[in-house]
Amino acid sequence: MIPVNEPLLARATLRYVADCVRTGWISSAGSYIGKFEAAFADYLGVGHAVTTTSGTTALHLALAAMGLGPGDEVVIPSQTMIAVPYAVLYTGAKPVILDVDRETYNLDPGRVEHFLKKGCRYDRRAKALRNKATGRRVKVLLPVHLFGHPCAMGEIMGLAGEYGLDVVEDAAEAHGAVYRFGGRKGPRFCGAMGRAGCFSFYANKILTTGEGGMVVTDDEALAEKARRLKDLAHAPGRRFLHTELAFNYRMTNVQAAIGLAQLEAIDRFITLKRRMAEAYGRRLAKVPGLTLPPEKPWARSVYWMYAVVVEDDFGMPRDALMAKLKERGIDTRTFFIPVHRQPLFAKDPDYTGADCPVADDLGVRGFYLPSGLALKPAQIKTVCDAVREIQSGR
């Protein structure tokens, strides 16, 4: 079986983990936490990085630290992982689900602009932007850099500035991806552009700690609050005294040791991902009816997953192609089921009305090919040959 993903662990991993075990620093108080956070902040060029237990908790922590709560709304894309709406709902706020761009699969800035212009009004008394349909305050835009390709951040940051909104980036799948702003602003890493950026370090991610996550920000007060909330919010100067509701989202020293080792190898990992994409692109470019993942001129994608879309002229539906690949020992995954189609939201009128034809279309046509860091060039050839043979009925 060619797995859809397999982690590749940097050589230093065993040494750093052995150090934790030998010294007994296995929970969240050891020195690797600080080292990993400092190195990650340094890599991204941001002021602060705060470790958490997962990408899901990183998103929740960032939103909670920003004070999101009941009566607030967060704009999210429909083609994304369920952790995104979950994190919003944990705070008591509600997601506004908007459609994505057909080319990048990411939040469509045109849709965001339309919603802010036509679907919202400014409430002068409350000094808040209100969703006309629900009356709630729209506070945050939450773009997700899906499959390692950056969102159109120039437009999204511009809209956030114009309407006084915060931006929280979900860079769970985009470690090392870059958005290039025009002019003096220049290139910026995904996760380092919004008020906060959130990462996942699950085992299939470009940088892994097994399970884990990170919130990054330039906002010192926000970082401070995130640190307090992730560690049960002991009162300053008085341990075991608590004045606010908080969480235990502490990463362990062992996980941070793994993370530090992977971070030291991140440039090599990104090179491997980009080489994989180049090899797939070369072999699949002439396959009719297969839309390959883009790389916009303003983007450096890290191709977390090699995500393709099966168009009508491929000759068979996506699910049939995936089943035939499986018969040949090739494991693949579909794109996400769009958020507004999740049964969880089926009875909620806020979501059943969501109009996301592009996310719907991608949800039935999109899938990704084996894309792990351990994938060999010969395996890429096997996958591409199989796709071509299946299409031609061989």
| Stretch 181-210: interaction string toward ligand PLP, x if CB under 6 A | -------------------x-x--------
Q: Closer to ligand PLP by CB, 172 or 380: give it.
A: 172
| Stretch 209-248: interaction string toward ligand PLP, x if CB under 6 A | ----x-----------------------------------
Secondary structure element (H or E) that encloses residue 219, with its range: none
Residue from 208, 175, 178, 173 nearest 193 by CA: 178
As a whole number of angstroms, the distance between CA 392 and CA 288 comes to 11
Site for ligand PLP in 294-323 (CB under 6 A): none
From 37, 73, 101, 173, residue interacting with ligand PLP (rule: CB under 6 A): 173
Q: Does 55 bind ligand PLP (CB under 6 A)?
A: yes
CB atoms within 10 A of CB 24: 9
Site for ligand PLP in 87-126 (CB under 6 A): none
Name 97's bridge partners: 76
Would you mind telling me the total number of residues written for the chain in this entry?
A: 394
As a whole number of angstroms, the distance between CA 75 and CA 115 comes to 10
Taking CB atoms, the residue at the shortest distance from ligand PLP is: 55
In whole angstroms, the minimum distance from the beta carbon of 328 to ligand PLP comes to: 26
Q: Does 56 bind ligand PLP (CB under 6 A)?
A: yes
As a whole number of angstroms, the distance between CA 377 and CA 327 comes to 21
As a whole number of angstroms, the distance between CA 99 and CA 109 comes to 9
Structural tokens at position 354: 């969501």
CB atoms within 10 A of CB 284: 18
From 84, 270, 290, 299, residue interacting with ligand PLP (rule: CB under 6 A): 84
CB atoms within 10 A of CB 139: 22
Q: Does 5 bind ligand PLP (CB under 6 A)?
A: no
Q: Does 61 bind ligand PLP (CB under 6 A)?
A: no
Q: Does 68 bind ligand PLP (CB under 6 A)?
A: no
Q: Does 40 bind ligand PLP (CB under 6 A)?
A: no
Secondary structure element (H or E) that encloses residue 160, with its range: helix 153-163
* Span interacting with ligand PLP, options 34-42, 157-165, 169-177, 180-188, rule CB under 6 A: 169-177
- Contact positions vs ligand PLP (CB under 6 A): 54-56, 80-81, 83-84, 144, 170, 172-173, 200, 202, 213
